[in-house]
Amino acid sequence: MRDEFLNELESELAKLEYEEIDAIIKYYDEMILDEIDDGKDEKTVIESLGSPREIAKEIVLENSLRIRPSNHSHKNNIYTYSPEGICKLECDTVTSKIEIIPSDDDNVVIEVANDSRYSDINVRNNGSKITIEEDIKLKIIGKIFNVQNADLKSEIIIHLPKDACFEKIECETTSGSINAEGIELENLKLSLGTVSGSIDLDGVIVNKLEIESVSGRLKLVDSKANKIEADSVSGMVKFEGCQCPNIEVETVSGSIDVNVEGDEEEYKVEISTIKGDKEYNPGAMYRLSMESVSGRINYSFM
Amino acid sequence: MDVQLKRGSIEVCVLAKLIKGDSYGYQIIKDLNAIVPISESTLYPILRRLENQGHLTSYSQAYQGRLRKFYSITPSGMKKVEKYLYDFEDLIRIYRFIERNYENER
């Protein structure tokens, strides 16, 4: 009830400056909790506050509050680095959608678009490592910064040149999704993680691939690596035509659907579920391991 | 009561309450309840205005795993209380005058 009230209030206040919304939501949240701690019933407290619409109206009238300008204050920045000597890239963000694509020229180009009222995205290059970090300015209790709000979503596009000597790329985002397409860097270890976003990889050829999510979907199409590890709690994992001699997929409740390019005889297949463990072709030289507590497991070769 | 006068008075009540010590939203409402019952939505704009005008400052403090915002009165807030008391002496004289004349006529 409290959450409902605060979320409604927040949407009624949507036109205000973020700092203002933040302060108001925190005020009402504290007030409600204090009244409940004082022995009042949650329902009574919420009802006596009145409707979120009326409250919002009153607050806006009373204060001639700062209304947020309607045009976005999206900031676009482009960083260009010569790939020489750079062997690592780390990208750690909260809301950003991350895209990794091949570069048109010989440089590493990082394109950043974000709402500067909400977060700063810092890009640094120390010669051997590029670091991209999102620094959130406002933390709010309600839902507005849970990034339903499209203009708050930031976007990072990483362009990688074909012959770059990257050894390791690590990208993390909380609510954003991660896409990579057409990346062919055979020495690269690519680690991608998201909490609620999805990860989509298409035509990615790397040395080692680690993808991880909590609730987001993991999808791998026409990709190749010497080792692939995919790990999700409730998200589904789907591989379509991947080439890899050592595959490990693990979920808790998400379904697993793996399609491998190759000969079934060459693979030792390990399946582990709550019902028990199975192993096929124990002597085979390649390995496909799939483990799930309650998710459905499916695999095929082509 | 005249809205402007009442609003101004509630502002000063809030400040006066803080003279003894810092306090937080719900406590302020409870303390004022006996004199002027105000709602949560009345208090918010008052606190905000007083803070913007520099009459009070706020800080957050952990309380049972959450944050509570405390308000403290500033020297400028003290001046506002003093000015209110001073100005009100004039008002009281006016009040007495009105009252005297009204009573005499009856």
ipTM for this model: 0.86
3-state secondary structure of A208: strand
Q: What is the pLDDT of residue A140?
A: 54
Instruction: Specify whether the CB–CB gap between A135 and A123 falls below 8 A.
Output: no
A62-66, A227-231, B67-71: segment of lowest average pLDDT: A62-66
pLDDT, mean over chain B: 89
Q: What is the pLDDT of residue A104?
A: 79
- 8 Å CB contact of B66 and A30: yes
Q: Which amino acid is at A160?
A: L
pLDDT at B4 over 80: no
Q: What is the pLDDT of residue A165?
A: 85
Q: What is the pLDDT of residue A211?
A: 96
Put simply, whether A35 touches B (Cβ < 8 Å) is yes
The 10 Å CB-count burial string (b at 16+, else e) for A127-138 is eeebebebeeee
pLDDT digits (tens, 9 = 90+) for A249-286: 999 999 999 999 989 999 999 999 988 899 999 989 99
Name the residue among B27, B41, B64 with its Cβ closest to that of A59: B41
8-state DSSP, A144: I
Per-residue pLDDT averaged across A291-302, rounded?
92
Instruction: Specify whether the CB–CB gap between A73 and A116 falls below 8 A.
Output: yes
pLDDT digits (tens, 9 = 90+) for A192-208: 999 988 999 999 999 99
A79-83, A139-143, A296-300: segment of lowest average pLDDT: A139-143
Q: Which residue has the higher pLDDT, A15 or B89?
A: B89
Name which of A196, A191, A148, A141 is nearest A167 in CA terms: A191
Which ranges in chain A belong to alpha helices (H)? 2-12, 18-37, 42-49, 52-63
3-state secondary structure of B43: helix
Name the residue among A31, A54, A62 with its Cβ closest to that of B40: A31
Residue A194 Cα, gap to closest chain B Cα (Å): 27
B35-42: long-range pairs with CB below 8 Å, 24+: B36/B6, B36/B9, B36/B10, B38/B10, B39/A49, B39/A50, B40/A28, B40/A31, B40/A49, B41/A49, B41/A50, B41/A54, B41/A55, B41/A58, B41/A59, B42/B10
Instruction: Specify whether the CB–CB gap between A241 and A259 falls below 8 A.
Output: yes
Put simply, whether B62 touches A (Cβ < 8 Å) is no
Q: Cα dist. A296→A69, A196, A288, B26 in Å?
A: 49, 20, 16, 52
Cβ pairs bridging A and B (under 8 Å): 45
- 8 Å CB contact of B25 and A34: yes
Residue A271: phi and psi, rounded to 5, are -125, 130
- 8 Å CB contact of B48 and A23: yes
pLDDT digits (tens, 9 = 90+) for A212-226: 999 999 999 999 999
Chain A residue whose CA is closest to B28: A31
Q: What's the CA gap between A236 and A234, in Å, rounded?
A: 7
Per-residue pLDDT averaged across A111-115, rounded?
84
Per-residue pLDDT averaged across A179-204, rounded?
93
pLDDT at A137 over 90: no
- 8 Å CB contact of B25 and A49: no
Q: What is the pLDDT of residue A73?
A: 54
pLDDT at A150 over 60: no
